[in-house]
């Protein structure tokens, strides 16, 4: 279930993950398309996989338009293979293995796998012969019976451990190459971009659009022709070894045949609690497992092409990047500005003020013709500001492009044109138009202030209650559509009340974060809280034999924070046990009232937004450029300022210059004390003292002048 929603759930729950880490970086590639040439790889300062990845990301963001001709040097770097092994082994076993704790035999097997890939002897999907096996795979394949061997060869099996290592190595090499080349209009299967990013972009950039085109290209995520994929990859990567690896992964057939078994009716027996093995990873907690069921329709389908594994989402974005480039060209062609428009004044400025309502009508000869689009996976949303005929012409051109480039036959029904008043569903949120009546105040000729009532529209992004009910019904939390009735979650039957409440509180907190940018955040979260609370009440009624939810609420309170085990509620005995540490404290359910739900987040979203790791990369590249330092120095000189570094150097230089006279002065004073004690050369010492004081005064004046 975890693989179903990689972007939505992992971005909301595990934000500091490896995918979002700004230091997961890139190779040195490329050359201008006009004059291709090879580039040698730079050696990072530290000889480890992380430093090598960092250098790869930096070099590719420094030269994003150069074609790549030599990636074999990165495949030879054993550090990348060790890093890939650590990541795959962690996912497989649930525990991190440091490099120092790897056995020599494991490193030898990993080296054999690397050499097989370099020598083109590696075969995808091998099921009996492995160069390296998973740490928890203890099967002796040489002693298997013929029946078991036949079963392994003819049934669906998960991807071999060694295949996933090769996937990770290729991903670490290819992802930094394509990330700076991808369009900023695509948001799925990319680090640092989430469905929240799409919703905030729509709220900022799609205000004032009248017609919307929804395109569903998710059929392409199920698989594309090998020739199209390879041609898309070879636009930027021309390394034969890497291209052949990807081609073999796409061409090698995948065994999906399953053995049909006759279902036999078995009597229900008492099921013992399953005990996990020592090296077996723990399953996802119930709240996380439940939240993964809330995948929006656009984020539900993740590509899995042949034996490509985790490379499939990247390859899908590589292929669909041509669609993004074509749409960006159409946006420039479609743009026709109008001087009398309220919001858009120039092609450089997307939107002057998002809080200012766009006055109706939103189309006509005196209005700016403009369009925009976003793509999330295989789903495209296009907003058009202008007459419907323009949207129909754009749809016709889009159908022809998909037919010529992707060999995908589309019709008008698969690309519907919908008006904003009907409500457009995208990522389980409804986009609609809200009419407002603002009071406009402006200063007329002569300084007279005039107030007028206006009519305007604002774009509303509202969470779909219908989709929320559908997701809860899919998870067996309720039944019925018009009058949803909560159902007990019997999976938590054997858990304690405190553990069950804690699981559901985490689930509700995650739902609050998911609906963070919905206009009806309070309403939708309150509905989720009602469903969860009713489900738990029915569960407790069945578990403690209380017969009805009313008795559960009477004993356990509205938020179910009182103990139900003794059917007496929060008795003094419970307080004493809790104070002595013999009873478990029970947290009540959150958001039982609408006033407790946080407000909608309407924070401004910048027009030139970039993920944090890209900002870090571009800032690092800029600071590393010698031209940046020269520009800063020239600016300081023009303004007559002194940099902190120069000021410190002046202080150090003055200290060094004055240190020698001060040492001579201390020597003279020591001699003077000795001579004074012996009562010798009194007059001579007096003259030396006067002379020394005069030198000290002169040096002090010189130092002050310099400062």
pLDDT of residue 574: 59
Asked if 55 and 125 sit in the same domain, the reply is yes
pLDDT of residue 484: 82
Asked if 555 and 639 sit in the same domain, the reply is no
Final residue of a domain: which of 179, 212, 243?
179
Say if 204 falls within a structural domain.
yes
- Give the chain's domain count: 4
Asked if 112 and 247 sit in the same domain, the reply is no
Asked if 506 and 648 sit in the same domain, the reply is no
Asked if 200 and 326 sit in the same domain, the reply is yes
pLDDT of residue 81: 94
Asked if 98 and 247 sit in the same domain, the reply is no
Say if 618 falls within a structural domain.
no
- Upper half-sphere CA count for residue 650 (Cβ side, 13 Å): 11
Asked if 237 and 164 sit in the same domain, the reply is no
- pLDDT band for position 361 (cuts 50, 70, 90): very low
- pLDDT band for position 2 (cuts 50, 70, 90): very low
List, in order, residues 6 or more apart from 605 with CB less than 8 Å away: 200, 201, 203, 204
Asked if 222 and 246 sit in the same domain, the reply is yes
pTM for this model (two decimals): 0.78
Say if 433 falls within a structural domain.
no
- pLDDT band for position 80 (cuts 50, 70, 90): very high
Residue 37 confidence (pLDDT) above 70: no
pLDDT of residue 672: 54
Final residue of a domain: which of 179, 214, 233?
179
Under 8 Å between Cβ of 190 and 318: no
Q: Which residue has the higher pLDDT, 330 or 707?
A: 330
Q: From 502, 474, 585, 514, select the one nearest 195 (Cα to Cα).
A: 514
Asked if 227 and 163 sit in the same domain, the reply is no
Q: From 455, 456, 453, select the one nearest 439 (Cα to Cα).
A: 453
**Cα dist from 83 to 164, 170, 311, 343, whole Å:** 12, 12, 17, 50
- Tell me what percent of the residues of the chain surpass a pLDDT of 90: 36
Query: Would you say how long the chain is, in residues?
Result: 707
Which two tokens mark 164? 């996933």
> What is the arithmetic mean of pLDDT over 689-700?
52
Say if 35 falls within a structural domain.
no
Which two tokens mark 12? 């909301």
Q: Do β-strands 424-426 and 439-443 pair in parallel, antiparallel, or remain unpaired?
A: unpaired
Asked if 500 and 536 sit in the same domain, the reply is yes
Which two tokens mark 527? 């509905």
- pLDDT band for position 644 (cuts 50, 70, 90): confident
Residue 448 confidence (pLDDT) above 50: yes
Q: What are phi and psi of 449, to 5 degrees?
A: -90, 125
3-class SS of residue 434 = strand
pLDDT of residue 280: 66
Say if 350 falls within a structural domain.
no
- pLDDT band for position 295 (cuts 50, 70, 90): confident
pLDDT of residue 343: 56
Say if 442 falls within a structural domain.
no
Asked if 59 and 118 sit in the same domain, the reply is yes
Q: Which domain holds residue 83?
A: 49-179
Say if 671 falls within a structural domain.
no
Tell me which residue has tokens 């730079």.
42
Integer Cα distance of 534 and 532 in angstroms = 5
Asked if 175 and 206 sit in the same domain, the reply is no
Say if 64 falls within a structural domain.
yes
Q: From 482, 451, 460, 303, select the one nearest 378 (Cα to Cα).
A: 303
Q: Lowest-pLDDT range, 543-557, 649-663, 681-695?
A: 681-695
Helix 226-233 / helix 240-251 crossing angle, nearest 10 deg:
160
Task: Provide the β-strand partners of residue 462.
Answer: 430
Residue 66 confidence (pLDDT) above 50: yes
pLDDT of residue 568: 53
Q: Mean pLDDT in the chain?
A: 79
Final residue of a domain: which of 596, 615, 644?
596
Render pLDDT for 135-156 as a digit per residue (tens, 0 to 9).
888 888 878 888 888 888 888 8
pLDDT of residue 374: 95
Residue 330 confidence (pLDDT) above 90: yes
**Cα dist from 698 to 688, 694, 701, whole Å:** 15, 6, 5
> What is the arithmetic mean of pLDDT over 481-496?
84
Q: Lowest-pLDDT range, 358-362, 507-511, 582-586?
A: 358-362
Under 8 Å between Cβ of 493 and 543: yes
């Amino acid at each position: 279930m975890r693989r179903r929603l990689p972007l939505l759930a992992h971005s909301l729950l595990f934000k500091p993950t490896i995918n979002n880490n700004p230091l997961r970086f890139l190779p040195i590639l490329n050359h201008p398309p006009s004059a291709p040439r090879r580039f040698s790889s730079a050696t990072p300062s530290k000889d480890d996989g992380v430093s090598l990845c960092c250098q790869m990301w930096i070099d590719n963001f420094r030269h994003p338009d150069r074609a790549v001709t030599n990636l074999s040097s990165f495949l030879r770097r054993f550090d990348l293979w060790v890093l890939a092994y650590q990541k795959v082994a962690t996912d497989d076993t649930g525990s991190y293995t440091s490099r120092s704790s790897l056995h020599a035999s494991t490193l030898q097997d990993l080296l054999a796998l690397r050499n097989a890939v370099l020598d083109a002897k590696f075969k995808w999907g091998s099921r009996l012969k492995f160069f390296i096996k998973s740490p928890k795979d203890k099967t002796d394949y040489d002693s298997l019976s013929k029946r078991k061997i036949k079963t392994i060869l003819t049934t669906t099996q998960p991807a071999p451990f060694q295949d996933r290592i090769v996937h990770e190595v290729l991903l670490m090499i290819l992802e930094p190459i394509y990330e700076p080349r991808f369009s900023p209009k695509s948001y799925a299967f990319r680090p640092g971009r989430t469905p929240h990013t799409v919703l905030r972009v729509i709220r900022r950039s799609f205000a004032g659009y009248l017609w919307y085109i929804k395109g569903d290209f998710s059929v392409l995520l199920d698989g594309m022709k090998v020739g199209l994929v390879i041609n898309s990859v070879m636009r930027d990567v021309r390394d034969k070894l890497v291209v052949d690896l990807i081609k073999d992964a796409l061409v090698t057939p995948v065994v999906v045949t399953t053995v049909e078994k006759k279902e036999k009716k078995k009597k229900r027996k008492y099921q013992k609690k399953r005990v996990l093995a020592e090296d077996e990873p723990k399953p996802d907690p119930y709240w996380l497992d439940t939240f993964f069921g809330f995948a929006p329709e656009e984020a539900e389908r993740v590509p899995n092409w042949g034996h490509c594994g985790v490379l499939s989402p990247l390859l899908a974005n590589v292929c669909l990047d041509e669609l993004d480039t074509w749409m960006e060209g159409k946006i420039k062609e479609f743009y026709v500005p109008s001087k009398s428009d309220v919001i858009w004044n120039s092609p450089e400025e997307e939107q002057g003020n998002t809080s200012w309502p766009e006055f109706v009508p939103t189309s006509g000869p005196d209005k700016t013709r403009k369009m925009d689009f976003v793509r999330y996976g295989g789903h495209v949303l296009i907003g058009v500001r202008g007459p419907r005929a323009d949207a129909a012409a754009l749809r016709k051109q889009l159908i022809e492009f998909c037919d010529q480039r992707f060999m995908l036959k589309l019709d008008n029904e698969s690309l519907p044109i919908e008006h904003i008043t009907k409500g457009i569903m995208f990522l389980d949120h409804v986009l609609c138009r809200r009419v407002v009546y603002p009071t406009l105040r402006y200063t007329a000729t002569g300084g007279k202030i005039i107030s007028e009532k206006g009519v305007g529209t604002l774009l509303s992004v509202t969470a779909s209650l219908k989709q929320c009910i559908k997701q809860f019904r899919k998870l067996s939390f309720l039944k019925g559509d018009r009058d949803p009735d909560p159902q007990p979650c019997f999976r938590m039957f054997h858990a304690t009340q405190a553990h069950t409440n804690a699981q559901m509180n985490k689930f509700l907190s995650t739902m609050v974060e998911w609906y963070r940018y919905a206009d009806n955040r309070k309403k939708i979260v309150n509905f989720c809280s009602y469903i969860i609370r009713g489900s738990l009440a029915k569960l407790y009624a069945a578990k403690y034999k209380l017969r009805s939810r009313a008795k559960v609420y009477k004993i356990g309170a509205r938020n179910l924070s009182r103990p139900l085990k003794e059917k007496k509620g929060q008795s003094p005995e419970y307080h004493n046990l809790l104070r002595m540490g013999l009873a478990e404290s029970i947290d009540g359910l959150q958001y039982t009232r609408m006033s407790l739900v946080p407000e909608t987040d309407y924070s401004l979203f910048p027009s030139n937004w970039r993920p944090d790791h890209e900002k870090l990369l571009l800032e690092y590249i800029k600071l590393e450029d010698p031209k940046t330092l020269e520009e800063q120095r020239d600016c300081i000189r023009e303004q007559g300022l002194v940099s902190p570094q120069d000021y410190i150097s002046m202080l150090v230089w003055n200290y060094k210059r004055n240190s020698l006279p001060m040492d001579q002065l201390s020597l003279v004073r020591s001699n003077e004390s000795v001579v004074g004690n012996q009562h010798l050369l009194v007059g001579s010492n007096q003259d030396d003292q006067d002379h020394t004081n005069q030198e000290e005064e002169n040096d002090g004046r010189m130092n002050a002048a310099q400062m």
